[in-house]
Amino acid sequence: MVNVIGLGYIGLPTALMLASHGIEVVGTDYNKALVDSLNAGVPTFKEDGLDELFKDAVDAGIKFTNEYQHTDTYIVAVPTPYDKFSKKVDACYVKAAVNNVLNVCNAGATIIVESTVSPGTIDKEVRPLIAERGFVTGRDIHLVHAPERILPGNMIYELVNNNRTIGADEPEVAGRVRDIYASFCKGEIVLTDIRTAEMTKVVENTFRAVNIAFANELSRICRHDNMDVYEIIRICNKHPRVNIMNPGPGVGGHCISVDPWFLVGDYPQLTKVIGESMKVNDSQPDFVLERLQVIMQENNIKDASRVGLYGITYKENVDDYRDSPTLQLLESQERHLAAPLKCYDPFLENMKLTESQYSDFDAFINDVDIVVVMVKHDHICHNWDRLKDKIVLDCHNICPLPNTYRL
């Protein structure tokens, strides 16, 4: 039996996928309300295909509880934030989960850490914890790092089809864990050591963050000299070895906006490009706010409450709002003591995150003169006609209306 610890955006679909493919699974989370919801048959977030997968897993016998289980295999999928000052990974949730596992696990149990951590975290944080409890790694406890590699909005497909990495001390343990994931994973499963597995996951997200920062910096250069960044990128991408991303309003979520900081925190003198890239991405919501202020002046709109931010989630077509650019922008605006910007998100109509958030799209549109498209949900692409009499600041270059400003 596999006990999956942490039933959030990664742990829950992983547990459901394992259960629906013949593995006995118990999902554990400290959040009683979350567990109660799952036991009532209600998944705790929206995702294409999740409801069907949930039903399959329940039919297969998956269980949800607040209790850690007596078993020989654990998957730890808990958050790994970073310290805002040192930029180092905060492994407190991983350590707490492992500590609780050690209270109940069978002798020779395997602990698989899926949570993203900086290279060396398991050596520096987890192994000493195991030793302090009197266990011997490699005999009483086997450690594995199998970093998740899925994207909200496409989780189910990517769980099945993406390649995976298994880092372990012992080849035979790596092989056993590979067999668990191979119950559903059709991608290549690469076996390596733990520290390499830690590094590869952080590097993947850092690569993406640096490329996003390059596009965002291009948008600022082009705006400064009144050039069309989108046309420039379009032409540059005709070169066979160039593939520049489009700029956007910032970076959110719990991967690209967080993981690269782990490297900056651990290697501050060696991560000049990465550190500056993260600063560019973190300041992009401020760039959007500055652009908005110019547009307001050009159109003689002095009341910020007549501005609406469309989209609060960190990416399109999901309900995940963790560290979203919109929330970053609102926090920045509050520091300037301006009137609160209105906001709306079709995926969060039943969840109020700010006082100025609307639950109805029509009411939102009727109460604003400027709409800032922060998230390119499919919903807005079906409703451009509702914005034809509005001023639009399009942060994604998708709006077809003539009354549109761009980054």
**Which has the closest alpha carbon to 2: 149, 167, 138, 112?**
112
Would you tell me how many other CB atoms lie within 10 Å of the CB of residue 103?
9
Rounded CA gap, 11 and 119, in Å? 21
Left, alpha or beta for 108 (phi > 0: left; psi -120 to 50: alpha)?
left
Largest CA distance in the chain: 72
Q: Residue 370 and residue 372: Cα distance in Å, rounded? A: 7
Position 88, amino acid:
K
Structure tokens at 176: 């056993």
Of the candidates 339, 308, 338, the residue with the CA atom closest to the CA atom of residue 326: 308
Which pair of structure tokens corresponds to residue 102? 């050690």
Strand pairing report for 141-145 and 164-168: antiparallel
Active-site positions read: 201, 255
* Contact between 216 and 396 (Cβ < 8 Å): no
SS3 state of residue 307: strand
Rounded CA-CA distance 232/235 in Å is 5
Q: Are 372 and 326 in contact (CB under 8 A)?
A: no
The pair of three-digit structure tokens given for residue 343, joined into one six-digit string: 């906001």
